[in-house]
Every structure is written in structure tokens, then in C-alpha cells.
């Protein structure tokens, strides 16, 4: 936890005799061309604008993604982070990837953000038309530590696939994968991400490529049996090369923290976002359709942080 108490020694502070310590907080995000990075940067932007009132200094560095963020929050390296709804659920309950380390009962939900469809993009010359066609191809399954990689493994397990089913299973970070596909080092990329996203824009404008539907009995079962998954559509016309809707399934991006981050800090952060909500929604196109009433309930499996609950009650939302 980067929380340094720095005694303010400016003349003004000395005159009034009130030394308010600065609180430094960090938000774990994802790769720089994803949407998590924009979530963290946007929250910090609004928080830091109000710095004179609350003395909170917020930074949101690029990270490996959901699972890395949840782990960093658990050990106190980060105060907050963005995480997929499936990995929030598993971290809180100590299931799936989190079974070995056990449940993190200190994890707290703050709010949910944008939907994240499980997104597959393939080179037009790869011959890939369906998810099943990925078999035998060169595919970027994502970096360990990303939620996206974890969800790809869930889908692979559901289909009975292993890494050996691909001629190459690359583990590139999200910010590297569009270039790798357009340089013809992989045939397809897999990324659970909000839309529109910089990565998918880059992948569909730097070379001929299209979105691939992710459908079938296994996917239907995943979506119907788990609350943290749902069927999803990536709208046609959003990206070059794909004019019709693409069917898939998806998760929700969520903003989480832990009981180790105090109530007042989370209250001020939530207040900075929701007191300036119209401004927040304009900071990235994937935020355009966000609604407050959904964000405080959808996709949250860990209990609400006390500081968030305090603000939502104050607004009459709870």
C-alpha cells in the first residue's frame, strides 16, 4: 500500500494549524490500449481534480490485468483495481484459479463498469470463421495475470482443449497482440475487453481482420450456469471488416478494493466519480451507456465497500 503520511509544511497550512496528511492511492488497470487503463486514468483524473478538498493523490499504472490486480490488492501492493466479474467472484470465494490461495474475504466491490465481451479477432486470410476453427492455428491466448487469459482457459476447458490444440499458443500482453496479428505472427487474438477498445481498433485497421462469433452448446452452458457470465453481442459496424453483430458471451468489468483501504478514501473516490458522472462517461466511448443504478448492483459478488455504501445511501440509491 502506497500510503505515505506526509506532513504538509506549507506556510498556509502552518498558519491554520491543520496539517492534513496526503493519501496516495493506486488503481491496478490493464494494458495501455485496453479499457481498464482508461477506467483507472479517468477515476484518478476526477479524484485528483478534487485534491484540495480531500488530499488524495491517485495514480493508475498499467498492469497485467484482472488477476494481477486482485493479487496486488490482496497483498496490499495496490489499493484498488479493475477486475472481470468472473475473477472477482473467484477471488472472493477462493474458487477456480484462486482455489490454492483461498478466499480473500477482505475483497470489496465498489461499482461495476462496462460490459466486456469475450472477443476473438482473426486475420481475414487465416480461414478462421468460427471459434472451432482456432484449432491448429497460431493464437494469442493472452498473458498470465490477465483476466482475459483466465477466461480463455475456462473456454478451452469447456471444449476439452489444451494449449497443444494450437500450432502456437502465444502469451502476449494485450497491448502487443494487435501488432503481432497484423505482422502475421499469430492468426488470431483473444481478448475479453470493453468496446470500442483501442486494441481491437488497431487489430482491425492495421490489417484485414474480422470478429469471430463465439457460440455453441458449451458457451451457452457457461453463460446459463454462472451468474458472472452472460450472452453478449458486439455491435456490427463498430470495427472495420465486421458489419453485422457478433454473438459471443461476456463478463462485466468491476472496480474493487479491500477492507485495508479505509472508508473515507473509498467514499471520496466514489464521490469523485458519481458527483461528476456526466464528465466520467465522456472520458471513454465504452463508458457512454453506463447507468448509476446498474453500476451499484450488477456483477458485484464481493460485499460493497463501506465507503461506497455510505455514498450510495447518501444519494438515496440504497
Nearer to ligand GLU, 23 or 204 (CB): 204
Nearer to ligand GLU, 35 or 182 (CB): 35
Taking CA atoms, 226 is separated from 176, 203, 219, 221, 230, in Å, by 30, 30, 11, 8, 8
Q: Which of these segments, 2-10, 29-37, 222-230, 232-240, binds ligand GLU (CB under 6 A)?
A: 29-37
φ/ψ bin of 152: left (φ > 0), alpha (ψ from -120 to 50), beta (otherwise): alpha
Nearer to ligand GLU, 54 or 173 (CB): 173
Q: How far apart are CA 52 and CA 272, in angstroms?
A: 13
- Residue in the structure block whose three cell numbers are 488497470: 29
φ, ψ of residue 174 in degrees (nearest 5): -60, -35
- In angstroms, give the least distance from the CB of 167 to ligand GLU: 24
- Residue in the structure block whose three cell numbers are 494549524: 17
- In angstroms, give the least distance from the CB of 251 to ligand GLU: 7
User: What element of type H or E holds 59?
Assistant: strand 56-59
Nearer to ligand GLU, 29 or 258 (CB): 29
> Side-chain half-sphere of 237: how many Cα atoms within 13 Å?
0
Position among 23, 25, 28, 31 found at the interface with ligand GLU (CB under 6 A): 31
Q: How far apart are CA 113 and CA 56, in angstroms?
A: 22
- In angstroms, give the least distance from the CB of 69 to ligand GLU: 8
Taking CA atoms, 228 is separated from 108, 278, 299, in Å, by 16, 27, 6
Exposure string for 223-242, b = 16+ CB within 10 A, e = fewer: beeeebbbbbebeeebbbeb
Nearer to ligand GLU, 23 or 29 (CB): 29
Q: Is 66 in the site for ligand GLU (CB under 6 A)?
A: yes
Position among 23, 26, 27, 35 found at the interface with ligand GLU (CB under 6 A): 35
Binding residues among 69-98 for ligand GLU as defined by CB under 6 A? 84
Q: Is 30 in the site for ligand GLU (CB under 6 A)?
A: yes
Q: Is 65 in the site for ligand GLU (CB under 6 A)?
A: yes
Q: Is 252 in the site for ligand GLU (CB under 6 A)?
A: no
Binding site for ligand GLU (CB under 6 A): 30-31, 34-36, 65-66, 84, 116, 146-148, 174, 192-194
Amino acid at each position: 500500500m502506497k500510503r505515505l503520511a506526509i506532513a504538509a509544511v506549507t506556510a498556509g497550512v502552518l498558519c491554520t494549524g491543520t496539517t492534513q496528511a496526503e493519501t496516495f492511492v493506486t488503481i491496478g488497470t490493464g494494458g495501455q490500449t485496453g479499457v481498464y487503463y482508461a477506467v483507472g486514468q479517468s477515476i484518478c483524473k476526477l479524484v485528483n481534480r478534487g485534491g484540495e478538498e480531500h488530499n488524495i493523490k491517485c495514480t493508475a499504472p498499467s498492469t497485467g490485468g484482472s488477476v494481477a490486480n486482485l493479487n496486488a490488492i490482496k497483498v496490499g501492493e495496490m489499493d484498488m483495481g479493475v477486475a472481470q466479474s468472473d475473477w472477482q467472484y473467484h477471488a472472493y470465494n477462493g474458487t477456480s484459479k484462486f482455489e490454492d490461495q483461498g478466499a480473500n474475504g477482505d475483497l470489496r466491490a465498489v461499482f461495476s463498469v462496462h460490459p466486456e465481451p469475450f472477443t476473438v479477432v482473426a486475420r481475414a486470410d487465416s480461414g478462421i470463421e468460427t471459434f472451432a476453427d482456432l484449432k491448429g492455428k497460431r493464437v494469442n491466448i493472452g498473458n498470465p495475470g490477465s483476466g482475459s487469459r483466465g477466461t480463455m482457459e475456462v473456454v478451452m476447458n469447456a471444449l476439452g482443449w489444451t494449449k497443444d490444440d494450437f500450432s502456437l499458443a502465444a502469451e502476449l500482453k494485450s497491448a502487443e497482440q494487435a501488432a503481432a496479428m497484423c505482422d502475421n505472427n499469430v492468426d488470431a487474438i483473444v481478448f475479453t475487453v470493453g468496446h470500442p477498445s483501442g486494441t481491437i481498433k488497431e487489430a482491425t485497421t492495421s490489417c484485414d481482420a474480422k470478429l469471430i462469433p463465439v457460440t455453441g452448446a458449451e458457451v451457452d452452458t457457461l453463460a446459463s450456469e454462472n451468474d458472472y457470465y452472460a450472452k453478449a453481442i458486439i455491435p456490427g459496424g463498430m470495427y472495420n471488416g465486421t458489419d453485422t453483430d457478433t454473438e459471443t458471451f461476456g463478463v462485466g468489468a468491476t472496480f474493487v478494493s479491500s477492507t485495508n483501504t479505509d472508508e473515507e478514501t473509498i467514499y471520496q473516490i466514489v464521490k469523485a466519480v458519481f458527483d461528476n458522472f456526466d464528465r466520467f462517461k465522456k472520458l471513454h466511448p465504452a463508458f457512454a451507456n453506463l447507468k448509476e443504478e446498474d453500476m451499484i448492483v450488477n456483477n458485484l459478488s464481493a460485499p460493497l465497500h463501506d465507503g461506497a455504501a455510505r455514498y450510495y445511501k447518501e444519494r438515496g440509491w440504497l
